[in-house]
A and B are shown apart, each in its own frame.
Chain A
């Protein structure tokens, strides 16, 4: 039985279709990512699970039970908010113990559980501090402890690492992953950062314009995108329009090809000839931007490969298996 399941769920705000006919099953114990640009409906989906929004149409089930008519305070899910939403008038201990206090657990038990939760996020001894006295990373851990101390069956995380700097973000990615393995509960997190989704999640749902474009493992969405949007957004892949693909393969379908799989030759021996419009040095590789007719392409060249100059006309080559055909009409 899936932990969370969306059954043709829509959420409209006036004429805006924030979420539009979403079907989705999230398995128990999964680390699941909802990925998409801002305004794609991913956060609304998270809020629908938490109960902050009600579906305009369709049904949401948690472990098989419909929660359509269940307010947030009756759902066994907890949320780590993007802005952490720590209560500024309470110290760390009372913030983390809030859910237990509401549940009417006795003080001694509460204190014990809070201490254990703070220990788990490596903030033991911070109980008496006010949220305003903590750094961004510490606040995030408090928010995590505050949610996990209630032993939710599903933990929701809204852009959990968005406000942290790069180094801290990488460290928290590791911590979140090991925490999830250790606790074995379902994590659903929302992010607009494809790198974050790819490195952390077991499975990813890619959102665009209120709809799910593709659900799959990180390898699926990265190497085998279903539609041009996923190819572009997740993999920063080159998308070849259907008309162009037809001249190359005879099949009228859009196709994706990874930038690192494009090879540059001189002259016109390759499948496609293109003009070099820019070069940028990335360290391990050099990124070459190209223009073939109306299609803009990117190639990543290893540092030992011969480098073209800007304005050169080059021929593009690839192995036939690297051209990934997609559905859609881009």
Chain B
């Protein structure tokens, strides 16, 4: 039997392990290098290139990009037609975010507080399953549900409530010929598609709120509504903000849902798509693409100022 206090050095792999153990920084560099390279060069690089493009402009006669620094392209964003697109998209994103938070909160709360064992598995399955199927498939499925000849109309007709939907669709701004070509339809599908991204971070945040915290609030005289306002919501806020970053930015950037379901009025994503494709106006497309980044930056700054991350 060996009396040495250590085992003998093994093959080359073991020697490599030993070497890495002796220089942890090298290990860190090996592990972090490739992803940082990817993030830094490819992702941030292209973002920077985009930003650069937005300061160029297009010569409307030749259709060529003029590579000179100008703010003219940004000024173009404020023409009524373009500004309308921005307002429409931001309004939609805000509505989708708010609705996702309101609908998602009870679900997330239930999952965090009460769901155990099999119910917990069912919850995760229910939330995640829509993410497994193709996004296009889901959107087209919704088109079939919401279309004039679709299942929703058929069902409402069956229970003689068709008139409720018709009355709603005759409203200005939100209505349309049928749900599938109305802003309401776009809204419904956005809320459906992005909902998991709102629920999961909220659930994670709620899970970290100990039950005793809520009991303490009640113990000190707070009714459930007061406990929600003064304790539960502030503690869940980082999760709500994280979720809203997803729903807000995903809605701001999406160009497929409004293409398939909704009116012919454009969203930012569609504008970017058209300007860089058919119209060949890369600078304007880039300027449009900067808008969501700017809005998200402002949103996060505002959330931080309002103390959304104090509970972190």
Q: Which residues of A contact B (CB under 8 A)?
A: 50-52, 71-73, 77-79, 81-83, 85-89, 98-99, 101-103, 146-147, 150
Q: Which residues of B contact A89 (CB under 8 A)?
A: 234-235, 307, 310-311
B222 lies within 8 A of A73 (CB): yes
Closest residue of chain B to A81 (Cβ to Cβ) is B212
- Decide if B18 is an interface residue (CB 8 Å cutoff): no
A50 lies within 8 A of B311 (CB): no
Contact status of A79 and B310, CB under 8 A, knowing A85-B210, A87-B213, A89-B235: no
Interface segment, B190-198, B223-231, B249-257, B296-304?
Answer: B223-231
Contact status of A146 and B220, CB under 8 A, knowing A87-B231, A89-B234, A98-B230: yes
A88 lies within 8 A of B311 (CB): yes
B220 lies within 8 A of A83 (CB): no
Q: Which residues of A contact B212 (CB under 8 A)?
A: 81-83, 85
B210 lies within 8 A of A73 (CB): no
Q: Which residues of B contact A87 (CB under 8 A)?
A: 213, 216-217, 231, 235
Q: Which residues of A contact B220 (CB under 8 A)?
A: 73, 78, 98-99, 102, 146-147, 150
B311 lies within 8 A of A103 (CB): no
Tell me which of B215, B230, B307 contacts A85 (CB under 8 A): B215
B215 lies within 8 A of A73 (CB): no
B216 lies within 8 A of A88 (CB): no
| Complex-state Cα separation, A51 to B104, whole angstroms | 29
- Decide if B218 is an interface residue (CB 8 Å cutoff): yes
Tell me which of B219, B230, B235 contacts A72 (CB under 8 A): B219
Q: Which residues of A contact B217 (CB under 8 A)?
A: 87, 98
| Complex-state Cα separation, A98 to B220, whole angstroms | 7
* Minimum distance in angstroms from B29 CB to a CB of chain A: 33
A102 lies within 8 A of B221 (CB): yes
A83 lies within 8 A of B210 (CB): yes
Chain B, range 224-247, C-beta contacts under 8 Å to A: 226, 230-231, 234-235
| Complex-state Cα separation, A89 to B230, whole angstroms | 10
Residue among A50, A78, A85, A146 facing the most chain B CB atoms (10 A cut-off): A85
| Complex-state Cα separation, A28 to B231, whole angstroms | 32
How many inter-chain contacts with C-beta < 8 Å in the A-B complex?
Answer: 65
Closest residue of chain B to A156 (Cβ to Cβ) is B219
A73 lies within 8 A of B213 (CB): no
A73 lies within 8 A of B221 (CB): yes
| Complex-state Cα separation, A205 to B5, whole angstroms | 56
| Complex-state Cα separation, A78 to B221, whole angstroms | 9
The proximity string for B residues 67-107 relative to A, scoring 1 for CB distances below 8 Å and 0 otherwise, is: 00000000000000000000000000000000000000000
A-B contact pairs, 14 of them (CB 8 A): A72-B215, A73-B220, A77-B219, A78-B219, A79-B219, A81-B215, A87-B213, A88-B311, A89-B234, A89-B311, A101-B230, A102-B226, A102-B230, A146-B220
Residue among B210, B216, B230 facing the most chain A CB atoms (10 A cut-off): B216
| Complex-state Cα separation, A169 to B230, whole angstroms | 32
B221 lies within 8 A of A99 (CB): yes
Q: Which residues of B contact A77 (CB under 8 A)?
A: 219
* Minimum distance in angstroms from B216 CB to a CB of chain A: 4
Closest residue of chain A to B234 (Cβ to Cβ) is A89
Contact status of A85 and B235, CB under 8 A, knowing A99-B221, A102-B220: no
Chain B, range 174-223, C-beta contacts under 8 Å to A: 210, 212-213, 215-223
A71 lies within 8 A of B218 (CB): yes
Q: Which residues of B contact A99 (CB under 8 A)?
A: 220-221
* Minimum distance in angstroms from B191 CB to a CB of chain A: 29
Chain B, range 287-312, C-beta contacts under 8 Å to A: 307, 310-311
* Minimum distance in angstroms from A93 CB to a CB of chain B: 14
Closest residue of chain A to B215 (Cβ to Cβ) is A52
Closest residue of chain B to A52 (Cβ to Cβ) is B215
Residue among A71, A77, A83, A89 facing the most chain B CB atoms (10 A cut-off): A89
Q: Which residues of A contact B231 (CB under 8 A)?
A: 87
* Minimum distance in angstroms from B285 CB to a CB of chain A: 42
* Minimum distance in angstroms from B222 CB to a CB of chain A: 5
A73 lies within 8 A of B218 (CB): yes
Closest residue of chain A to B214 (Cβ to Cβ) is A85
Q: Which residues of A contact B226 (CB under 8 A)?
A: 102
Q: Which residues of B contact A147 (CB under 8 A)?
A: 219-220
| Complex-state Cα separation, A292 to B253, whole angstroms | 82
Q: Which residues of B contact A102 (CB under 8 A)?
A: 220-222, 226, 230
Tell me which of A51, A79, A101, A103 contacts B216 (CB under 8 A): A79
Q: Which residues of A contact B310 (CB under 8 A)?
A: 89
